[in-house]
Amino acid sequence: MAGKVYLVGAGPGDPDLITVKGLRLIQEADVILYDRLVNPELLKHAKKDAQLVYCGKLPHHHAMKQETINHFLVKYAKKGLNVIRLKGGDPFVFGRGGEEAEECAKHDIYFEIVPGITSGIAASAYAGIPVTHRELSRSFAFITGHQMGDVEAEHQWEHLAKAVDTICVYMGVSHLPSIKNKLIKAGKSPKTPIALVHWGTLGVQKTVVGTLETIENRIVEEGISNPSMIVIGEVVRLHQKLHWFEKEIQPQLPVLHG
């Protein structure tokens, strides 16, 4: 009999933020294919004889192509093994979980989706920035910075600037100059608050706050790079009042792969 594939969200980095179901499945898995931003503390819960397969991806450098990952999911499941695809954040939020589920369905492999806490919400919360607020934000959008240069996606910036209160941008640090220019051109005020949350939810988390017109200089001054979540909107003003996590953390290096 064929095994099963579980697409499990590992959460944003803090290992305590994985779901109870996700942790149980890690403990029971025969094979775990895991991403670069999965906290290695979670892998310590795997069975001693579980096979661990690294599928990490860096910008412009993939340890394993998506097609190969898809192939392995089907291959191991057809051997009758229980397979975990352990993904940072949530499998269906810019994680290609939909593509992997489609591959399983194509080959009649049983699969389940186990949601995880996505960094757009978690990193913001750990920085004291609520993505919604009764007085400041009644709508929010998640967007990937990787689509910069996509002609069909260019029109979205006007809609985002005018219709959405809070914008959370994944994988957007390298495109930040273009993102802020497009938002200003589409009508967003240059004074709009913006925050970058670097290594959100981990012990080295660092939040840098500015405005659309000042943020480029701020991140250069603070040395901010990937991985960072970008949060844009009036709710960023609450960071100064609500930044609970960075008051409590003890500095520690995030020992992640890659």
What is the distance between the alpha carbons of residues 58 and 38, in angstroms, rounded to a whole number? 13
Residues 229 and 163 occupy one common structural domain: yes
Q: Which residues are catalytic?
A: 35, 57, 171
Neighbours of 98 (CB within 10 A): 12
256 domain-assigned: no
DSSP assigned state of 229: E
What are the tens digits of pLDDT across the range 183-236? Answer: 999 999 999 999 999 999 999 999 999 999 999 999 999 999 999 999 999 999
**Is residue 89 domain-shared with residue 180, that is, in the same domain?**
no
> Could you read off the pLDDT of 17-38 as tens digits, one per residue?
999 999 999 999 999 999 999 9
Same domain, 46 and 72: yes
Same domain assignment for residues 11 and 32: yes
Q: Which of 114, 133, 159 is the last residue of a domain?
A: 114
Is there a single domain that holds both residue 184 and residue 203?
A: yes
Q: Is 151 exposed, middle or buried (0-12, 13-18, 19+ CB in 10 A)?
A: exposed
Q: Is the dihedral of CA 43, 45, 46, 49 positive or negative?
A: positive
Confirm whether 92 is domain-assigned: yes
Domain edge (last residue) among 114, 147, 182: 114
Residue 5 confidence class, pLDDT cut points 50, 70, 90: very high
Residues 8 and 82 reside in one and the same domain: yes
pTM: 0.90
Looking at the fold, whether 12 and 94 belong to one and the same domain comes out as yes
In a domain, 254, yes or no: no
Q: Is the confidence at residue 8, as pLDDT, over 50?
A: yes
Is residue 131 domain-shared with residue 87, that is, in the same domain? no
Alpha carbon of 145 to those of 29, 178, 203, 230: distances in Å? 33, 10, 25, 10
- Do 99 and 210 share a domain, yes or no? no
Residue pLDDT, tens place only, 50-81: 999 999 866 555 668 999 999 999 999 999 99
Q: Is 152 in the same domain as 51?
A: no
- What total number of domains does the chain contain? 2
Is 253 inside a domain boundary?
no
First to last CA, the chain: 36
Question: In which domain, by residue range, is 149 found?
Answer: 119-248
Place of tokens 């819960």: 45
Count CB-CB contacts under 10 A for residue 221: 10
Q: Residue 254: is its pLDDT beyond 60?
A: no
Instruction: Please check whether residues 227 and 130 belong to one and the same domain.
Output: yes
DSSP string, 128-159: T--S-BTTTBS-EEEEEGGGTT-GGGTTHHHH
Name the residue among 223, 102, 111, 104 with its Cα closest to residue 173. 223
